[in-house]
């Protein structure tokens, strides 16, 4: 008897090899639509985890994802997108994968059982009580992830566990996030529905956290720092939208502020110097809304 949902056979795809291409695609799509429902049911738990992450960030803590295989790669992907999108330091959100950097690009399946490597990795990171650690394992059985969470708990970190099964909460875990998406189209291939659910939840965690850390103004990523042509174009467009300026005027303003969108908006709206704008933003926890729209 297989008790892990992610390892059970999906009756809707039992004869999938007999189906036409279009029918296979419909089966996959039908199953994928169940993922969002599962994630929605997990929102109360996700909210509790986000609240702890925000509190930790406000006290100079970090968010650390730990996973193996697909779970580890998704954690690294989410972490790596935070600096260019929200101008945070690379160490604020980090991803750890069983097997190290090599495992990002190729499968190292036995790495998920290496508990000693997990413990060594955590010990090297100087985990503290302001850090939030999220273990990610579709089945809840990855030894690397479990050992890393146990070790992080010794340092007082807040420990969350994201699984795509229904399980009993381990005693060293503070918060369990369950998104049981059901059996995969290809039995045990958790890069599919479980991977999609994980990606959705990690997006929710970092996006909501960054919004509450004043990294946006409405739905605009105003805390971006222009480093390449795409970001210069995006930053210019945001300034143009918020300030009613032409593209050329907005670009000149952005250049004057060394690519800092929030600073550019403040100096235009309040007619103050770059230094004064930066100081005002610092005094208001980086909130553009508090500075230009304090009502």
Cβ-proximal residues to 258 (8 Å cutoff; 6+ apart), any chain: none
Of all residues in the chain, what percent carry a pLDDT higher than 70?
Answer: 99
Strands (E), the chain: 63-67, 93-97, 132-136, 158-163, 175-178
Cβ-proximal residues to 283 (8 Å cutoff; 6+ apart), any chain: none
Q: State the chain's mean pLDDT as an integer.
A: 93
Question: Taking the domains of the chain in order of start, what are their residue ranges?
Answer: 5-212, 229-292
Residue 275 token pair? 């230094």
Tell me, what's the pLDDT at 107?
80
Query: pLDDT-derived band of residue 2, with 50, 70 and 90 as boundaries?
Result: very low
Active site residue: 112, 151, 184, 260, which one?
A: 112
Give catalytic status of residue 112 as yes or no: yes
Give residue-wise pLDDT tens across range 85-95. Answer: 898 999 999 99
pTM over 0.75: yes
Tell me, what's the pLDDT at 26?
96
DSSP 31-64: HHHHHHHHHHHTHHHHHHHHHHHHHHHTTT--EE
Give residue-wise pLDDT tens across range 221-245. Answer: 999 888 889 999 999 999 999 999 9
* The domain made up of 5-212 is a member of CATH 3.90.1010.10: no
Tell me, what's the pLDDT at 3?
56
First to last CA, the chain: 61
Mean pLDDT of 174-186: 94
Other beta carbons less than 10 A from residue 208's beta carbon: 17
For residues 169 and 172, what is the distance between their CA atoms, to the nearest angstrom? 8
Residue 1 scores a pLDDT above 80? no
Residue 31 scores a pLDDT above 80? yes
Mean pLDDT of 184-194: 91
* Lowest mean per-residue pLDDT among 113-117, 129-133, 270-274: 113-117
Mean pLDDT of 45-49: 98
Tell me, what's the pLDDT at 52?
98
Tell me, what's the pLDDT at 139?
83
Tell me, what's the pLDDT at 100?
87
DSSP 136-149: E-SSS--HHHHHHH
Tell me, what's the pLDDT at 112?
82
Tell me, what's the pLDDT at 111?
83
Give the closest residue to 190 by CA, choosing from 44, 35, 47.
35
Give catalytic status of residue 81 as yes or no: yes
Give residue-wise pLDDT tens across range 53-111. Answer: 999 999 999 999 999 999 999 999 999 999 988 989 999 999 999 988 888 888 876 88
Tell me, what's the pLDDT at 290?
95
* Lowest mean per-residue pLDDT among 195-199, 221-225, 289-293: 221-225
Mean pLDDT of 205-218: 97
CATH number of 229-292: 1.10.8.1080
């Amino acid at each position: 008897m297989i008790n892990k949902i992610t390892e059970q056979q999906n009756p809707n795809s039992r004869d999938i090899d007999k189906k036409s291409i279009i029918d296979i695609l419909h089966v996959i799509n039908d199953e994928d639509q169940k993922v969002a429902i599962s994630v929605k049911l997990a929102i109360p738990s996700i909210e509790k985890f986000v609240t702890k992450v925000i509190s930790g960030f406000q006290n100079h803590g970090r968010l650390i994802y730990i996973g193996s295989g697909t779970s580890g790669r998704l954690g690294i992907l989410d972490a790596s997108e935070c600096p260019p999108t929200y101008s945070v330091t690379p160490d604020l959100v980090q991803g750890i994968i069983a097997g190290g950097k090599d495992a990002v690009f190729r499968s190292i399946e036995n790495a998920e059982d290496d508990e000693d490597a997990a413990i060594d990795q955590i010990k090297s990171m100087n985990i503290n009580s302001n850090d939030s650690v999220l273990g990610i394992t579709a089945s809840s059985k990855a030894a690397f992830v479990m050992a890393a969470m146990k070790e992080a708990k010794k340092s007082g970190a807040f420990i969350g566990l994201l699984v795509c099964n229904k399980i009993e909460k381990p005693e060293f875990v503070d918060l369990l996030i369950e998104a049981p998406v059901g059996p995969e189209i290809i039995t045990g291939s958790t890069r599919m529905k479980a991977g999609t659910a994980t990606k959705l939840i990690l997006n929710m965690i970092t996006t909501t956290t960054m919004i509450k850390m004043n990294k946006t103004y409405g739905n605009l990523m105003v805390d971006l720092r222009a480093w390449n042509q795409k970001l210069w174009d995006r930053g210019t467009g945001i300034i143009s939208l918020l300030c009613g300026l032409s593209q050329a005027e907005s670009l000149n303003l952005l250049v004057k502020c060394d690519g800092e969108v929030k600073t550019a908006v403040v100096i235009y709206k309040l007619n103050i110097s770059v230094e004064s704008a930066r100081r005002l933003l610092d005094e208001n926890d980086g909130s553009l809304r508090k500075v230009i729209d304090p009502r």
